[in-house]
A and B are shown apart, each in its own frame.
Chain A
Amino acid sequence: MATSTISARDDASAPVPRELPPLLAQIRDGWRDRDGRTALLGAAACLALLAVLFRSTLVHFVQVWSTDQNYSHGFLVPLISLYFANMAAQYGPIRQVPAVGVGVVLLMMALLGRLATIVVPVGIASDLSFIAGLAGIVALFAGREALSRYGFALAFLVFMVPLPIHLYTTIANPLQLMVSKAASVILNGTGLPVLCEGNHLTLPGGVRMFVAEACSGMRQLTGFLALTTAVAFLTPRPRWYRLVLIGSAIPVALTANIARVVLTGWIMAYDPKLAQGTFHTIEGLLLMGFGLALLRIECAILNMIVEEDRPASAATSAAPAAG
């Protein structure tokens, strides 16, 4: 991975000029010539029009991010995307490879998606079309190479799109049942007799416990998927390593939630009041930490495998491992 460096200066007493972030520096450099200025102004005008066209989608995003706990991370996603775009900008100036056709096709697809949602109530089509529209503007004004370079940053925006509630429920319900069953097996195995009926667990003394949708692992799954994708992108590792990392989001989220339900079961058996309100929230945060720790352990194991596979000559010039 390339890194931006500030060249060392012989005159230590002179103040070092503050460098702009690479993305802003690229925009500044583009502004210096007339052609670049036209491109930047055109892109800005197109972005404004795109925002007007997708105003209902943008309002929907903000509303869901602020009211639905499953998507409260939505506010962070555009910022993380910008961070990735800034990282991509570190590779230096982009060669202009015209991609007018690609840009036009992407913009037309975005329009069709938007128009389709006026006729039929499929909100997610409009949500994804907005991202296609952004990609279209990049292709039209910055070209094919820019689209390729900033493609990941644009694709990452998918994580801010709320799933339709029905689809969410369709995925979350089986996960909920799986977590309940696995947790009851572990609780029985660890000496706490539990009767499992669907998502209801009955503990000794008739104490009933319910595995909520929030404990299905779905909430963590969306977060972990975004996180592992980001880590995979940032890690200078082989493709298989990155795929394993992203694929592990599902078992890690489920494992963390099974652990949460098992812990809650034991706490409820001791004192049901401790499994409610603030205690339950703290427990959730701790288990989120447990999930992150699992990911860290996984990265460490994968790093060992990568180190073993790497020839001695390559090992000396490798970038430091992330994750």
Chain B
Amino acid sequence: MTTTRRAVLGLAILSLGLVAEAAVERATLTDRPPLKRSLQTIPMTLGNWVGKDEPVDEKIAVESQATEYLNRVYTLRGRPGVQVWLWMNYSDRGLNLRHSPEVCLPSGGWEKIESLTKVVAIDRASGPPQEVSVLGYGKSELVQKIGFWYYIFGEGRIERFVRGLPISSRSSHGRTTRGSGLTVEVFYPSETGLGDDELRDFITELLDVMDPVLPEDRASYHIP
């Protein structure tokens, strides 16, 4: 085969690849499900926790690639010092999944404290327990913990199965999804005196009020 023909063959195969890529993208297009309700409908009062919206720096809002976000401080009634910062971030294209605490906190100078890192299962009144990664980060004398989990909406059963395999990237490690995504981060500085029991209590209350907001076709993950 002449060199010219080989070049034409190579270019034809790769061009076909680009066409096939566009076709497969179109054929497997998902609706990228929207939230059923705005995140703002999450109540200000969650059991014994009372919330207050916090403004978000313009730059952080842009960086987060969120379609919609919620940034609140919840205080435990009767214990003003005990507070959690709730950051929820929805992206209709799943771009927010890139921004896990493991990527964003170190870039702010926080170092992971692996001895504080664990996975906790939050029991639910209905349905399976919700697994949450509890991560610890320190900067000089400051230590904060983060409860982290995320959802992917609209990926479908096959993708969900594959995402659970050890060969796939289950994390928000730079891979986007064909669906939409929501990340939930519950921050609490260690000096607030918040223990695991209070954290479980807050997340349990939060999960109950999140149900009406989230699309039905959803899968939950917790590995950052």
Q: Of the candidates A103, A118, A169, which one forms a contact with B21 in the assembled complex, judged by CB atoms under 8 Å apart?
A: A118
By a CB distance below 8 angstroms, the chain B residues around A119 are 24, 28, 158-159
B115 contacts A by Cβ under 8 Å: yes
By a CB distance below 8 angstroms, the chain A residues around B16 are 111
Interface of B is mostly: helix
Please report the total number of A residues contacting B with Cβ < 8 Å. 52
B14:A108 contact, CB within 8 angstroms: no
B171:A165 contact, CB within 8 angstroms: yes
By a CB distance below 8 angstroms, the chain B residues around A59 are 174
Min CB gap A99→B, angstroms? 10
B166:A170 contact, CB within 8 angstroms: yes
A165:B15 contact, CB within 8 angstroms: no
By a CB distance below 8 angstroms, the chain B residues around A190 are none
With the chains together, A46 CA to B175 CA distance in Å? 25
Q: Say yes or no: A104-B9 contact (C-beta < 8 A), given A121-B162, A121-B175.
A: yes
With the chains together, A111 CA to B10 CA distance in Å? 12
By a CB distance below 8 angstroms, the chain A residues around B163 are 121
B18:A121 contact, CB within 8 angstroms: no
Interface of A is mostly: helix
B223 contacts A by Cβ under 8 Å: yes
Most A CB contacts (10 A, CB to CB) among B17, B103, B177 go to B17
20 A-B residue pairings within 8 Å (CB atoms): A39-B7, A42-B6, A43-B10, A46-B11, A60-B174, A64-B174, A100-B9, A108-B13, A115-B20, A118-B178, A120-B162, A120-B168, A121-B162, A121-B163, A121-B175, A122-B165, A141-B7, A164-B169, A166-B169, A166-B171
Task: Supply 13 further A-B pairs (C-beta < 8 A) apart from A39-B3, A63-B98, A98-B1.
Answer: A45-B11, A50-B14, A63-B174, A104-B9, A107-B10, A111-B16, A114-B17, A121-B159, A123-B175, A140-B9, A164-B170, A165-B173, A200-B115
